[in-house]
Chain A
């Protein structure tokens, strides 16, 4: 039990995919200009990660080594297409705002990385918990990024005004450059806190 619990929570902080492993940078930076986009991306990634972890951990024994990556990537791409089509059908606005970044989940290193490093070596339950934990870690990071960027860049949070009309939006924050800055400073904070904890 405790081992499974460990697999589950390690992605939240200790092995946070975004701030510790520095994986899946493209969506982390590209879609965090608003909280709504971030939530859409978190949903899609969680679905793909869980779905493909399940399948990969089931089929891991029958796939020959030479085509291992190709097969895994086909499995992942299938789930990504499903997520993409679903968004296009039921949330067209969101689908448009996320643009090519939903299809690009295929090559999100978090996903392939987890399949390679974990799901291809572990059983179904452990893989599912690992996937879920990683998704939560990814979600935490994206929520942080997008909250900072949306509040500073547009003065709103999830479309609701949080800063009064006196606030002149700091527009650089929703531009590409702002994404790099926010990530850089969050990374700094994350590491500094982590260090303080490990020492204490």
Chain B
């Protein structure tokens, strides 16, 4: 039950993009085409889950025993940066089709704040290992959901008569605001 609450909360109520504002750079950058948005969402979910679980292990197995909690930022980011590079090499070797689909997005992910954000939040919220796994999966899927919805809207928005200066990030953000309002309707679900 508790796990379901964590999952729903990360997916809908406290959606990473629309509530925590994490991962906005790719959210704006890769949301103009539906298919690339879907690939980006998949890549982020994948890396997020791995990064969060590995960070959890580092934090509780290495840092806590020696009271080095203050090293969390440095060690997490080091782990994430290395991990993304490893994953990229690994996928490239093992599954070229998957690399074709996700690979070009992977370098973008290192600096995606959603990844580091999920690792830091699991520590802040004091989740255990299983909870961390569920939370990061929910957060990743939440990111995918938001970016895919956004891409769907933006594809239609192309035909709208938007004022010249508002085009691009401006109209995307206002649309995201409306989306955030809509997502507020999910509040109370975890009750």
Direct contact between the two chains A and B in their complex (CB within 8 A):
yes
User: Which residues of B sit under 8 angstroms from A185, Cβ to Cβ?
Assistant: 170, 174
**B 109-123 to A, binary, CB cutoff 8 A, 1 in contact else 0:** 011110111001100
Complex Cα distance A39/B164, Å?
32
Which residue of A is nearest B85, CB measured?
A70
Q: In the complex the two chains form, is A180's CB within 8 Å of B120's CB?
A: no
Q: In the complex the two chains form, is A81's CB within 8 Å of B25's CB?
A: no
Q: A81-B70, A175-B184 are in contact. Are A184 and B165 (CB under 8 A)?
A: no
Which of B77, B168, B170 has the most A CB atoms < 10 Å from its CB?
A: B170
Complex Cα distance A184/B30, Å?
18
User: Which residues of B sit under 8 angstroms from A107, Cβ to Cβ?
Assistant: 77, 111-113, 115-116
Which residue of A is nearest B18, CB measured?
A176
Q: A22-B28, A77-B74 are in contact. Are A179 and B21 (CB under 8 A)?
A: yes
Which of A85, A108, A180 has the most B CB atoms < 10 Å from its CB?
A: A180
- Interchain CB contact (< 8 A) of A176 among B21, B25, B70: B21
Which residue of A is nearest B121, CB measured?
A100
**B 154-191 to A, binary, CB cutoff 8 A, 1 in contact else 0:** 00000000011110111111101110110010000000
Which residue of A is nearest B74, CB measured?
A77
- Interchain CB contact (< 8 A) of B113 among A85, A104, A181, A191: A104
- Interchain CB contact (< 8 A) of A106 among B71, B116, B172: B116
